Structure 1
Amino acid sequence: MTTTRQLVGLGAVAATFPYLALKLNWIFGGTVGVVGADMDELLVANIATVFMDLIVLVTALALTRPWGLRLPAPVVIVPMWLASGMLAPIVLLAPLLPTLLGDAPAGDAAFLRSWVYAVVYGGFALQGVLLMAAFVLYTRARWPQVWAARNTGAGDPLALGLAVVASVLALGVAAAYLSWAVGSTLGMPPGLTSAPGAGDSVSIGIHGLAALLTAAGLTWLVRRLPRDRPVMVPLGMTWVGAGAMFGWACWSLVTLGTRFGADDVSQVVVYVLVLAAQVTAAVLAAVIAAYRVTGLARQADLGGDAAVAEPTIDGEHGRVSGVHRG
């Protein structure tokens, strides 16, 4: 019997095909959708991005098929965290796709035909929605105790300390991106300031919002405030925000030479420091979230009740309440 999770996961698999078809065409010498670019110069980049999309495809299959439920948790969680982080900003930008296409070079300056951008980024947005939906259904099936857990109990001192460091870094990153989004050029590389379009400003702003989401999610997660709320709310905020911070910062660092090769080294120092803070905050957030989830799972293995809700005793009738098993 086909389940909703299987249908959604297979939809995510199918959403990877147009991008893979284009990239494989270019790798093997094709020119579909190409205007004036020499794809031989981009061979390594095309191979790398095909590999990344294949990881999305395999991850979607793992979320879909029964064997995926038997995989070690990190094998599913790590690529899914990276994929959701990379795709979430594109999902948010999808409604602005016509504007983004309007900002793309045209005529002799064009690199690719406009329909290629629509296929690629529309496909990415569809992948993001379906992949994250499949992951929600997958985690509900595999770890129901985490979905049932409430954000209660005393915060761990070490987690609190690390969360403060991560939140301060994330807020600094947010301040930089949001200031750039509204027009400031302080610390921004010249390669990033040249003729920015509306889509670019929104994209930069989304990176700032991802950093704010990370700081808010972490604070809620480790301080347990407000109390007695589903732990998946702050966990989800931290997951998406930190994933976007880490994935896009790493991508920016890898492509730094390509994007800002014409800029003087001194002109990109602040930008590199922002990216370094972005990666550090995201890694700390991921460690804290993993520690919290591991603690919930351990409590569930030892008895289940403490991981799900704080038990209370009805003094009048002597009944124990507030205990729900996943």
Structure 2
Amino acid sequence: MERWDRVGRCAGYGAALALSPYLLIKVSWVVGSLLGLAPIGNGFNLAGWVLLNTVTIGMAVIGIILALALVRPWGMRIPGWLVTFCAWTGSGFLVSILPYAVLTTVLDAARGGAANSRGDDSAMPGWEGALIQFSFIGMGLGLALALPAYLRRRWPEAFTARVGDATRATVPWPAGIAAVVGLAWLYWAVGGTLGVAHPAERDTKGYLLTGVGALWALAGAAALWTLARQRRSRVPHHLLQALGWLGSGSLFAWSSWKLPLTLFVALARPTDVTLPENLAVAAVLHLAAIAAGLGMLRSLVGSHPRTPAGTDPTPLRTHEPG
């Protein structure tokens, strides 16, 4: 077993282990709230709080199964589309947010340990917040290392190709949409107010989060555009694939999470929730981001080199571990 594969396997097990505290905390919140032993989050009734945390429990379970699938032999037998979609969405959520986690940690440390400050709207103890952050960062780092190793074992041709090797051009329309969305978010991240209904609601972390999302959208769009040009490039094919993968996953995952919240605020008008952006503008951008992310994924899958007609693809199974 080569060194990169060993690193990937260790990272997969580490990701599953890192996400376990988050799962246990969420289970304790649901059980505790049902038994009246734990507080309900501000702005929620019991049913809403249980539903929200049950959904996140399901996401955590899927994340742990995914991390194990990337390193266990049975993971190579799962349908490729299912592993691809789950890994794409998970990395879009967690790997893309790693720069934000690092920057906010530095900011909190500079403010004298403000990371333990939970605000007035949360009863979460500091140790729980620290464990949740550890789970997210650990899962993100684990995916960042385990996923390429898995993909390299299962589809090695994607890592040996060079830009321009593909036999057909991919239509780069998703790259254009992603670039527009990324530029709009970048405009907001640098302080632009057009399309912002409540500027006073923005804070430093909000600017950072929007900026990180914008940069991933632009990086993914640039990578897809380069792949679609079908010309030789000095940039390695696998690096462009990775940037396109993370950029498209970030667009899809985060906007799929934020769009329902935006629609809920627009329709229910809760008194304790105010989003900075104009809700209609935000909803349109999230819809565009979801469409761009899916279109980019389709184009990225199409950019993999095709097995020549008449060639038996089964030898790839020799890369299956165990």
* Bin of the TM-score, shorter chain as denominator length: 0.7 to 0.9
Structure 2 match to 1:281: 292
Shift of 1:292: 1.5
Answer yes or no: is 1:299 the counterpart of 2:302: no
Structure 2 match to 1:19: 22
Bigger radius of gyration: 1
Structure 2 match to 1:271: 282
Shift of 1:106: 4.8
Structure 2 match to 1:48: 55
Structure 1 match to 2:258: 252
The 2-side partners of 1:138 and 1:177 are apart by: 32
Shift of 1:286: 0.6
1:206-231 deviations in whole A, cap 9, x for unaligned? 11111101210111111134436532
The 1-side partners of 2:10 and 2:118 are apart by: 38
Shift of 1:103: 7.9
The 2-side partners of 1:111 and 1:207 are apart by: 28
5 Å-filtered alignment, 1:144-293, equals: 144-153=156-165, 156-157=168-169, 159=170, 162-163=171-172, 165-190=173-198, 193-227=199-233, 229-258=235-264, 261-262=269-270, 267-293=278-304
**Residue identity opposite 1:255 in structure 2:** L
**Residue identity opposite 2:303 in structure 1:** R
The 1-side partners of 2:283 and 2:294 are apart by: 17
Structure 1 match to 2:125: 113
- Which of the pair has the greater relative contact order for Cα pairs under 8 Å at 6+ separation? 2
Q: Secondary structure at the match of 2:193?
A: coil
Task: Report if aligned partners of 1:235, 1:289 keep a CA contact under 8 Å in 2.
Answer: yes
Shift of 1:145: 1.8
The 1-side partners of 2:196 and 2:190 are apart by: 12
The 1-side partners of 2:116 and 2:265 are apart by: 16
Shift of 1:96: 2.7
The 2-side partners of 1:82 and 1:128 are apart by: 12
**Residue identity opposite 2:24 in structure 1:** A
Shift of 1:259: 5.0
Shift of 1:88: 2.0
Shift of 1:33: 8.7
Same amino acid, percent of matched pairs: 28
The unaligned stretches of length 5 or more in structure 2 are 314-322
Evaluate the alpha carbon distance shift between residue 106 and residue 239 of structure 1 in structure 2; reply closer, same or farther with a 3 A threshold. Answer: closer
The 1-side partners of 2:279 and 2:144 are apart by: 34
The 2-side partners of 1:10 and 1:185 are apart by: 44
Shift of 1:166: 1.4
Shift of 1:291: 1.2
Structure 2 match to 1:316: none
The 2-side partners of 1:267 and 1:10 are apart by: 42
TM-score normalised according to structure 2 size: 0.81
Task: Report if aligned partners of 2:32, 2:38 keep a CA contact under 8 Å in 1.
Answer: no
5 Å-filtered alignment, 1:117-128, equals: 117-128=129-140
Evaluate the alpha carbon distance shift between residue 108 and residue 271 of structure 1 in structure 2; reply closer, same or farther with a 3 A threshold. Answer: closer
Equivalent pairs counted in the alignment come to 295
Evaluate the alpha carbon distance shift between residue 96 and residue 249 of structure 1 in structure 2; reply closer, same or farther with a 3 A threshold. Answer: same
Task: Report if aligned partners of 1:89, 1:203 keep a CA contact under 8 Å in 2.
Answer: no
1:49-87 deviations in whole A, cap 9, x for unaligned? 111111111111111111111222112111000000000
5 Å-filtered alignment, 1:58-97, equals: 58-97=65-104
Query: Aligned Cα RMSD in Å?
Result: 3.0
Shift of 1:108: 4.4
